[in-house]
């Protein structure tokens, strides 16, 4: 099968905001406790943080990490996580039916972010609490000193403010499962007033208002329109969340979900334009896709804990999806979609980063390893920074049960900051290789730098503690760059990254 594409150095979509390669860490399951923090672990540093995990996160070069939730944040008292550890209260976490020890709070998380070289993206609780707790949190985190909350931070050992730029106004407030769930008008008003208060500290902060929890919500997309009508002038981003599942074990249908994702982004971008026009506004609002990933492998096994059958355990294994090779393709497709939508999607967070639906897994007291989905995330984050190119791709298509004209070859390309080009390609065909031929206009003088391939004879293959490299990239062969054309053969069911430069 053949596919052709045309790349032109001046035919661009947008500069990519590096924050589309962000991640998310929630106080959920073992994400924090025995994920990033495990004071008795052999690799623990003086702060009790696992250095083996720090190394893997650094390798991913994660630009921003959203924290502390998620559903958790909607009943979280941020003050529980400050001050001497022995004085911090144990709370019942209503979102995940577990106990929260509060051993990790804002100070510990901020120090960890510094160790891994990432920025914080903090969420305030607009579920059980509201404007007052939010403004106190912002004052604690960002005000230099000379006020109650900023001086308390200094007394707690942090002299300089952290100066966090990015703040989420609650989480998934449209969801009836959320503690303090609200309708769109109630939430829109609260978010607008909270934004106003937070901006009084610093008008330059970047604020994210909650969109729908997913595009199947009954209130979608009216929710977006109503919430933005209340908040358009005081926010910068609206959040989107989407999780991907293959319950029916139909790979063709599963890999076609990119169409749903792209339609979702286009629709919310349209709602933003609608509200902008209605308000006769000059200002732009963008998309923060701050939760995305594959999530379904663990759903069955989590049921007992979530229904309270185990009481209130501390840091139990929850949402520990073990990803297979098929999920590599899905995650590659999602990241390609974000690159193609770089003009409207400015932030995106893989949900989550460690243990909980995550690219990194750990064992208590044991090793940390890379799940299969680590790799497409790694390649996009490391080599997908620069300007998204508007490729014209032509190739055969298929129809899934839900979507028509799904291209077998899914391709995205980035004119990178070092002047080269990275091409990310997924072959959705189960049995046929695709001969991809890209006309590289304006890049003729370049040569092939790297070609990495992920493929496997078994789409259900997984990585584990004992077989951490079962699914791993290998150097590809047969890619050529010459005469202004890049040609490469994409094996059936494969993900690849090809870089040219020079």
Tell me which residues touch ligand AHR (CB under 6 A). Answer: 26, 69-71, 171-172, 213, 291, 351-352
What CA–CA distance (Å, rounded) separates 413 from 410? 10
Classified as helix, coil or strand, 97 is coil
User: Measured from the CB atom, is 319 or 342 closer to ligand AHR?
Assistant: 319
Residues with Cβ within 8 Å of 59's Cβ and at least 6 positions away in sequence, in order, are 378
Q: How far is CA 132 from the centre of its chain?
A: 28
CB of 99 to ligand AHR, least distance (A): 17
Contact, 65 vs 352, CB < 8 A?
A: no
What CA–CA distance (Å, rounded) separates 360 from 16? 25
CB of 178 to ligand AHR, least distance (A): 8
Q: Name the active-site residue from 79, 206, 291, 320.
A: 291
CA-closest candidate to residue 364, choices 98, 31, 102, 41:
41
CB of 438 to ligand AHR, least distance (A): 36
291 in active site: yes
Strand extents, DSSP E, 324-433: 345-351, 360-362, 368-370, 386-389, 392-394, 397-398, 406-407, 409-416, 421-427
CB of 70 to ligand AHR, least distance (A): 3
User: Measured from the CB atom, is 373 or 500 closer to ligand AHR?
Assistant: 373
CB of 291 to ligand AHR, least distance (A): 5
User: Measured from the CB atom, is 178 or 422 closer to ligand AHR?
Assistant: 178
- Please, what is the Cα angle at 31 between 467 and 321, to 5 degrees? 50
- Would you tell me how many other CB atoms lie within 10 Å of the CB of residue 329? 26
Classified as helix, coil or strand, 199 is helix
The residues pairing with 33 across neighbouring beta strands, listed in sequence order, are 37
User: Measured from the CB atom, is 26 or 410 closer to ligand AHR?
Assistant: 26
> Is 165 exposed, middle or buried, given 0-12, 13-18 or 19+ CB atoms closer than 10 A?
middle
Q: Name the active-site residue from 79, 108, 139, 172.
A: 172
Output the residue with the shortest Cβ distance to ligand AHR: 70
Classified as helix, coil or strand, 70 is coil
Classified as helix, coil or strand, 78 is helix
Q: What is the chain's Cα-based Rg?
A: 23
User: Measured from the CB atom, is 291 or 320 closer to ligand AHR?
Assistant: 291
User: Measured from the CB atom, is 34 or 352 closer to ligand AHR?
Assistant: 352
CB of 213 to ligand AHR, least distance (A): 6
Query: Active-site positions?
Result: 172, 291
């Amino acid at each position: 099968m053949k596919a052709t594409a045309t790349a032109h150095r001046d035919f661009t979509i947008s500069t990519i905001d590096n924050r589309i390669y962000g991640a998310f860490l929630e106080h959920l399951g073992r994400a924090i406790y025995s994920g990033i923090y495990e004071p008795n672990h052999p690799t623990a540093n003086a702060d009790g943080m696992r250095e083996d995990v720090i190394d893997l996160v650094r390798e991913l070069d994660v630009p921003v990490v959203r924290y502390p939730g998620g559903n958790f944040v909607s009943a979280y008292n941020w003050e529980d996580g400050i001050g001497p550890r022995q004085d911090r209260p144990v709370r019942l976490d209503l979102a995940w039916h577990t106990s929260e020890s509060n051993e990790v709070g804002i100070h510990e998380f901020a120090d960890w972010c510094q160790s891994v070289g990432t920025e914080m993206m903090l969420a305030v609780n607009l579920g059980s609490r509201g404007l007052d707790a939010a403004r106190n949190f912002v004052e604690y985190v960002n005000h230099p000193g000379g006020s109650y909350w900023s001086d308390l931070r200094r007394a707690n050992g942090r002299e300089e403010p952290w100066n966090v730029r990015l703040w989420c106004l609650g989480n998934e407030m449209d969801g009836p499962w959320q503690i303090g769930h609200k309708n769109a008008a109630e939430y829109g008003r609260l978010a607008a007033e909270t934004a106003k208060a937070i901006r009084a500290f610093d008008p330059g902060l970047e604020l994210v208002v909650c969109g729908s929890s997913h595009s199947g919500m009954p209130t979608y997309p009216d929710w977006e329109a109503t919430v933005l009508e209340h908040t358009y002038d005081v926010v910068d981003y609206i959040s989107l969340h989407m999780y991907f599942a293959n319950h029916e074990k139909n790979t063709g249908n599963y890999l076609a979900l990119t169409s749903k994702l792209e339609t979702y982004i286009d629709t919310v971008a349209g709602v933003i334009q609608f509200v902008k026009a209605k308000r006769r506004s000059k200002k732009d609002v963008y998309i923060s896709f701050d939760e995305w990933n594959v999530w379904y492998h663990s759903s069955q096994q989590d049921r007992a804990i979530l229904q309270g059958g185990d009481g209130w355990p501390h840091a139990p294994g929850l949402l520990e999806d073990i990803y297979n090779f098929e999920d590599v393709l899905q995650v590659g497709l999602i990241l390609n979609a974000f690159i193609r939508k770089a003009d409207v999607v400015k932030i995106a967070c893989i949900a989550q980063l460690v243990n909980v639906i995550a690219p990194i897994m750990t064992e208590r007291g044991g090793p940390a390893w890379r799940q299969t989905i680590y790799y497409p995330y790694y390649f996009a984050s490391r080599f997908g920074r620069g300007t998204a190119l508007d490729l014209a791709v032509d190739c055969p298509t298929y129809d899934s049960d839900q979507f028509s004209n799904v291209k077998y070859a899914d391709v995205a390309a980035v004119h990178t900051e070092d002047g080269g080009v990275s091409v990310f390609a997924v072959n959705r065909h189960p049995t046929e290789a695709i001969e991809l031929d890209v006309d590289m206009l304006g890049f003729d003088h370049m040569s092939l730098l790297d070609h990495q391939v992920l493929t496997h004879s078994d789409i259900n293959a997984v990585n584990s503690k004992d077989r951490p490299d079962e699914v791993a990239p290998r150097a590809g062969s047969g890619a050529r760059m010459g005469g202004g054309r890049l040609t490469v053969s994409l094996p059936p069911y494969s993900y690849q990254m090809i870089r040219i430069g020079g």
